[in-house]
Structure 1
């Protein structure tokens, strides 16, 4: 149910970005659920959507800067390249990798051509296009409704599809990491596939550069304790761990 709620919020957020406001009954019709369900979704998620009277709006003061994939591609590129080179060193022949959306893990793609047997599972179009150019890497592209802002797909059946796959390593990026408020991303439709991949995988790796720390984005999806390994160039993270009740993840610090 949490995945469906996140997907409904992503659909509503997309509509609000286009038109500014949305009546509660129209949002319910758009998502095919009752007004009470939409009201519960909004009030139980700490995101940018607010219910004001009978209308939904975006809470502009709390909104992060709009996510621009092209802009993110050039941001902290050298740091991302070094992080991905470290991640590539733990990948083994025969692995099935989950690679999520965004730009952090894109430099990893060029490192995968050396493998003779590898499978990549993704819901990101930019990742899929790059993987498709590698003849020895098998691609599993998860489809659904396309979100142009992040070049990725979302659906209420995607989490179930991920659970049926034998994923060895889930490679997860994030737009925000905060010691109290956890690991977060920009878009609600990313929550379901990230969480499903982390649940299905034998090993969970968070790959995040220093610019993402002490940042909170709208869509929470994990705590640092949910990962087995954190690959980062943030030197202070070693002082912050452990951060919760579970065992602390292994820290790979560049």
Structure 2
């Protein structure tokens, strides 16, 4: 089955080699499988191709790389994100107040919270808040402001101050780019302030990223790697381990 998936992915990459896009239904027709099978292939792949608005594109295509949409990203590296969140949950203790970042990487972490007691979740992400709201035993603090549909998150000028007034034990931060020299970055500039505020005030700062983010640089820089205590990843983070550097945890 894995060999067949690899053959389908290779065929699609060959079709995209000249640039442009392929609609999902055309990709399914080309490979002789269902659209869901193509989605599964992409979710388990190395991230070389991605879905944007129902079309396949090469992830490193300069015209499409800056684009990010939560609905598009939810199928990308889904299994890896679940494994990362299972590892991240091991750092949570009863009674913690957690900052959970926006995007899709950390959404599976919510399902891990049921094993802990007296938790509080602080977030500016609507998808995270919706998931937490279904858990009556977890207290929710939703940070509001102007809603940004592409990331399903809120932004406001006073969000940083609101975060800093809270006692956050652990901040779980996601990123779209992690580079050894150029730091940690994301696509949207309205995310920079809440990320930096959570990093500044949390007792423990944890960066959670799948391998597709390693070596990438995105438009909105928000932190150095050594701003984090722990990096949880399934990628190759061959960083020098110093007293001031983060602990690398493999998922």
| TM-score, reference length from structure 2 | 0.73
RMSD: 1.6
CA contact (8 A) 1:115 1:136 kept: no
Alignment of 1:188-203 (within 5 A): 188-203=189-204
**CA distance in 2 between partners of 1:102 and 1:191 (Å):** 13
Determine whether 1:250 maps to 2:247.
yes
Match of residue 11 from structure 2 = none
Q: For each residue in 1:51-102, what CA deviation from the matched residue of structure 2 results, as whole angstroms up to 9, or x when unmatched? A: xxxxxxxxx9587341121121110011100000011111010000000100
Superposed CA deviations along residues 220-253 of structure 1, whole A, max 9, x for unmatched, are 000110000000011x31x32349xx71111111
Distance 2:241 2:185 in 1: 18
Paired position in structure 1 for 2:240: 241
Rounded to whole Å, the distance in 2 between the matches of 1:193 and 1:152 is 11
| More RCO (CA 8 Å, sep 6+) | 1
Does the 8 A contact of 1:94 with 1:118 survive in 2? Answer: yes
2:74 counterpart SS class: helix
Counterpart CA distance in 1 for 2:144 and 2:109 is 22
Gaps of 5+ in 2: 1-60
Contact 2:66 2:218 in 1 (8 A): no
Report what 2:100 is aligned to: 99
More helix by share: 1
Query: What secondary structure is seen at the aligned counterpart in 1 of 2:215?
Result: coil
Distance 1:133 1:241 in 2: 42
Write out aligned runs for 1:1-254 (5 A): 64-234=65-235, 236-237=236-237, 239-242=238-241, 247-254=244-251
Task: Give the total of aligned pairs.
Answer: 191
Structure 1 residue runs of 5 or longer lacking an equivalent are 1-59
